[in-house]
Amino acid sequence: MRRLLVTGSVLLTLLVSVAAGDPGEPPLPERLADTGGGSQLITAEAPSEDSTTGTVTWWERRRGGWVEAGAAPARFGAKGLTEGSTRAQGTDTTPAGLYDLPYVFGIEPAPAGTRYPYRRVNDRSWWCQDNSADAYNRWVEPRPADCRAAEAEHLVTYGTQYAHALVVGFNYEWPVRGRGAGIFLHVNGLGATAGCVSVPAAAMSRILAWADPDRRPHIAIGTRSGRTAITRY
The contacts of residue 141 (CB under 8 Å, 6+ apart) are 122, 124, 125, 126
Helix (H, G, I), strand (E, B) or coil at 4: helix
Across 26-53, average pLDDT:
98
Across 9-30, average pLDDT:
58
pLDDT at 15 over 50: no
pLDDT one-digit tens code per residue, 172-227: 999 999 999 999 999 999 999 999 999 999 999 999 999 999 999 999 999 999 99
CA dist 106 to 47, 111, 159, Å?
Answer: 29, 10, 9
Asked whether the beta carbons of 43 and 33 are under 8 A apart, the reply is: no
Residue 62: exposure state from Cβ atoms within 10 A (0-12, 13-18, ≥19): exposed
Give dist(CA 216, CA 224) in Å, integer: 24
Give dist(CA 72, CA 80) in Å, integer: 18
- pLDDT reported for residue 157: 98
Cα dihedral across residues 208, 57, 102, 195: positive or negative: negative
Q: Which helix (H) or strand (E) holds 177?
A: none
- pLDDT reported for residue 64: 85
Reported confidence tier of residue 6, pLDDT bands at 50, 70, 90: very low
Across 24-51, average pLDDT:
97
Across 57-84, average pLDDT:
97
- pLDDT reported for residue 183: 99
pLDDT at 13 over 50: no
pLDDT at 2 over 50: no
pLDDT one-digit tens code per residue, 154-184: 999 999 999 999 999 999 999 999 999 999 9
| Rg of the chain taking only CA atoms, in angstroms | 20
pLDDT one-digit tens code per residue, 77-124: 999 999 999 999 999 999 999 999 999 999 999 999 999 999 999 999
ω into residue 213 within 30 of 0, thus cis?
no
Give dist(CA 221, CA 100) in Å, integer: 11
The span from the first CA to the last CA of the chain, in angstroms, equals 50
- pLDDT reported for residue 22: 52
How many Cα atoms sit within 13 Å of 133 on the Cβ side?
A: 22
- pLDDT reported for residue 12: 40
- pLDDT reported for residue 24: 78
Give dist(CA 84, CA 107) in Å, integer: 28
Q: Which helix (H) or strand (E) holds 129?
A: none
Indicate whether this model's pTM tops 0.85: yes
Helix (H, G, I), strand (E, B) or coil at 28: helix
